[in-house]
Amino acid sequence: MSTEAQGTESRPRDFIRNIVAEDLANNKHDGRLATRFPPEPNGYLHIGHAKSICLNFGVAEEQGGVCHLRFDDTNPVKEETEFIEAIKADLSWLGFDWGENEYYSSDYFEQLYQWAVQLIKAGKAYVEDLSGEEMRKLRGTLTEPGTNSPSRERSVEENLDLFERMRNGEFADGAKVLRAKIDMAAANMNLRDPAMYRILHAHHHRTGNDWCIYPMYDFAHGQSDSIERITHSICTLEFADHRPLYDWFIEQLGIFAPHQYEFARLNLGYTVMSKRKLQQLVAEQLVSGWDDPRMPTLVGMRRRGYPAQAIRTFCERIGVGKSDSWIDLSVLEECVRDELNETAPRAMCVVKPLKVVITDYPEDQQEMFDAPIHPQQPQMGRRQVPFSREIYIDRDDFMEDPPKKFFRLGPDREVRLRYGFVIKCNEIIRDDSGEVIELRCTHDPATAGGVAAEGRKVKGIIHWVCAKTAVPVEVRQYDRLFQVEQPGGKEGDYREDINADSLQVFTPCYAEAGLADAEPTVAYQFERLGYFCADSRDSKPGALVFNRTVTLRDSWAKAK
RNA sequence: UGGGGCGUCGCCAAGCGGUAAGGCACUGGAUUUUGAUUCCAGCAUUCCCAGGUUCGAUCCCUGGCGCCCCAGCCA
């Protein structure tokens, strides 16, 4: 773990942390700090959620507070138990612990109902029987005030009766809603008598068929925060307009008042983050599933090989602010490399094999080269790399007509096999179509693996695998899912920006013998190529499948 | 000429009246049996614009300009 000691002190790093630190210093809420992460269980968590998670859990952790996990499950038609388990697994994987503090908005349904009754009695809520369409017409526009609905003047008694009958199931879905009586002329649209309850004869994943009316987000979220005595309710910018409503309900009800703060949601280049779009990618099979390694979901990233710590580091690096921002993919990738560079054992794997025969090496001979598992971490130990007369190298490491700056293999050129001999290419073998299918080389016995430099100046070093002992594997290389930084741009269809080459499958590839029992999820650096891990879904002993997590930086590729 | 939010380097982001942190990206150069890592160096006389207050403003005031969000019985 490279927990980079940064940020472990209580030093504030963003406006939220500043506010929290100040409140704590002023002994607001008796020095108590409680945040919450409130996902709706209708999909999988993505990297954007991770930002919120790291903020909410992070602040609590740093300041000795608590962070609740609360499922905001007020819409039974969209929510499923499947997602609850997945969300919890993602949270744990990221390394956060909510302890006993697992809550559900649905557990507050009875209390919420009572509060609604309280508002009706106070003349602050009424039952509406206009249709959604009619309500919209009366709502006015951004520049014109709305008009009061006839239902607004109903008596408290009638409202009470009607609301109870709504609960009892006397009305069809959509027939009526309970609305807050605020101000149809409010400049803030959210205050134009917003809906509090709708009728939904739907089975709820937790409350079953107990209810046929369900509270809206606005009537559930703040009160849930209040019930849990959340001190700092942190959400994204688009809810800023709801804050006056959040405060209004709490004030009318006279209950504990948490404070809502808003920060800018994460936008990452070359991907999409909205749950709707992610759902669509899965539904339309544009990807293989929520855990497709190209998805920005936590399950996808985990399967791809991103370490949880890299995601946490990423969330720290990008900061928390209020301005809309797009983060470069390179920031995330650097976090992944930083982490993996320190922790991943090294190995060699040839992805695009080209056979090389060392003509002056005895046919029946085999030897082992001694190599470090990690060049910078000697404590990780050594590995033995088998070598024999026939090996594979990557096609990219050979050029028939190499440019001046290419210092790998070419006709009559020398190159060093990593941890092995220096070889020289003497002959090129082609098939009928003229394609190069084999190289004939000779080796210099004086340059064997462990031997220190012998004065010979060989610039190029390439990776290779002994043909006799190689493990045939499949390698999947991923690239960005979209070919433009902001898929869909302004009004366009983001699907049209999908990168057709975001998945490249190579087989057979040849891996160093030691990789034979690679376990899914465990990261390796395939030297000179990048970081890889066996796929948790498709890799099987004897039929290994490796995912490329991220490439190594490649200044040569850039130079080209 | 509705309301809310935001504008500091290509992308993020500190800064809160005293003369522009840091990260990513980029550009050199050193070390290197990964063209990786590491390492050193460079990278905003300027903070959306224009006025004003002040000895002094990215930070205060005024007026512009630009971008984002809101008219779900979604969250």
Taking the C1' atom of every nucleotide in all shown strands and the CA of A313, the nearest one is B23
Q: A51 burial class (0-12, 13-18, 19+ CB within 10 angstroms)?
A: buried
Taking the C1' atom of every nucleotide in all shown strands and the CA of A77, the nearest one is B74
Closest CA to A520 of A540, A537, A534: A534
CATH number given to A3-106+220-326: 3.40.50.620
Instruction: Note the CA–C1' distance, A486 to B24, in angstroms.
Output: 18
Evaluate whether A538 touches A292 at the Cβ level (below 8 Å): no
**Residue A105 token pair:** 């908005």
Distance, in Å, from the CA atom of A194 to the CA atom of A245, rounded to the nearest integer, reads: 9
How many other CB atoms are there within 10 angstroms of residue A474's CB atom? 17
Q: Is A40 a catalytic residue?
A: yes
Distance, in Å, from the CA atom of A511 to the CA atom of A546, rounded to the nearest integer, reads: 10
Taking the C1' atom of every nucleotide in all shown strands and the CA of A241, the nearest one is B4
Distance, in Å, from the CA atom of A492 to the CA atom of A172, rounded to the nearest integer, reads: 38
Instruction: Note the CA–C1' distance, A60 to B48, in angstroms.
Output: 36
Instruction: Note the CA–C1' distance, A397 to B31, in angstroms.
Output: 24
**Residue A194 token pair:** 């917003």
pLDDT of residue A489: 85
* Cis-peptide into A508, omega within 30 deg: yes
DSSP class of A432: T
Q: A237 burial class (0-12, 13-18, 19+ CB within 10 angstroms)?
A: middle
Q: Where are the domain boundaries for CATH 3.40.50.620 in chain A?
A: 3-106+220-326
**Residue A128 token pair:** 């509406």
CATH number given to A349-462: 2.40.240.10
**Positions on chain B within 7 A of a protein C-beta:** 2-8, 10-16, 22-27, 33-38, 67-75
pLDDT of residue A5: 32
Evaluate whether A69 touches A101 at the Cβ level (below 8 Å): yes
Closest CA to A197 of A276, A115, A133: A115
Q: Is A265 a catalytic residue?
A: yes
Q: How many CA atoms lie within 13 A of A125 on its CB side?
A: 26
Q: Where are the domain boundaries for CATH 2.40.240.10 in chain A?
A: 349-462, 472-559
The superfamily in CATH containing domain A472-559 is Ribosomal Protein L25; Chain P (2.40.240.10)
Taking the C1' atom of every nucleotide in all shown strands and the CA of A187, the nearest one is B3
Here the ipTM equals 0.97
**Residue A277 token pair:** 């779009």
**Residue A411 token pair:** 């006709």
Say which of A13, A40, A78, A440 is annotated catalytic. A40
How many other CB atoms are there within 10 angstroms of residue A492's CB atom? 12
Q: Return the nearest residue to B22, CA–C1'.
A: A317
Q: Return the nearest residue to B13, CA–C1'.
A: A319
Evaluate whether A549 touches A338 at the Cβ level (below 8 Å): no
Instruction: Note the CA–C1' distance, A13 to B14, in angstroms.
Output: 8
Instruction: Note the CA–C1' distance, A528 to B25, in angstroms.
Output: 22
How many other CB atoms are there within 10 angstroms of residue A174's CB atom? 11
Helix spans in A6-108 (H): 15-25, 47-62, 81-94
Closest CA to A232 of A58, A36, A450: A36
Euclidean distance between the first and the last CA atom of chain A, given in angstroms as a whole number: 35
Say which of A275, A337, A346, A476 is annotated catalytic. A275
The superfamily in CATH containing domain A109-218 is Glutamyl-tRNA Synthetase; Domain 3 (3.90.800.10)
Evaluate whether A443 touches A363 at the Cβ level (below 8 Å): no
Instruction: Note the CA–C1' distance, A323 to B58, in angstroms.
Output: 16
pLDDT per position in chain A (560 positions), as tens? 333 333 333 356 899 999 999 999 999 999 999 999 999 999 999 999 999 999 999 999 999 999 999 999 999 999 889 999 999 999 999 999 999 999 999 999 999 999 999 999 999 999 999 999 999 999 999 999 999 999 999 999 999 999 999 999 999 999 999 999 999 999 999 999 999 999 999 999 999 999 999 999 999 999 999 999 999 999 999 999 999 999 999 999 999 999 999 999 999 999 999 999 999 999 999 999 999 999 999 999 999 999 999 999 999 999 999 999 999 999 999 999 999 999 999 999 999 999 999 999 999 999 999 999 999 999 999 999 999 999 999 999 999 999 989 999 999 999 999 999 999 999 999 999 999 999 999 999 988 875 655 566 788 999 999 999 999 999 999 999 999 999 998 788 999 999 999 999 999 999 999 999 999 999 999 999 999 999 999 999 999 999 999 999 999 998 87
Q: Return the nearest residue to B16, CA–C1'.
A: A15
Q: Is A275 a catalytic residue?
A: yes
Instruction: Note the CA–C1' distance, A273 to B59, in angstroms.
Output: 34
Sheet of strand A102-104: strand arrangement: A34-37, A66-71, A102-104
Distance, in Å, from the CA atom of A309 to the CA atom of A315, rounded to the nearest integer, reads: 10
Task: Say if pTM beats, i.e. exceeds, 0.90.
Answer: yes
Distance, in Å, from the CA atom of A503 to the CA atom of A526, rounded to the nearest integer, reads: 18
Say which of A78, A206, A265, A480 is annotated catalytic. A265
Q: Where are the domain boundaries for CATH 3.90.800.10 in chain A?
A: 109-218
pLDDT of residue A458: 84
Taking the C1' atom of every nucleotide in all shown strands and the CA of A188, the nearest one is B3
Map residue A216 onto helix, strand or coil. Answer: coil
pLDDT of residue A281: 97
Q: How many residues make up chain A in this entry?
A: 560
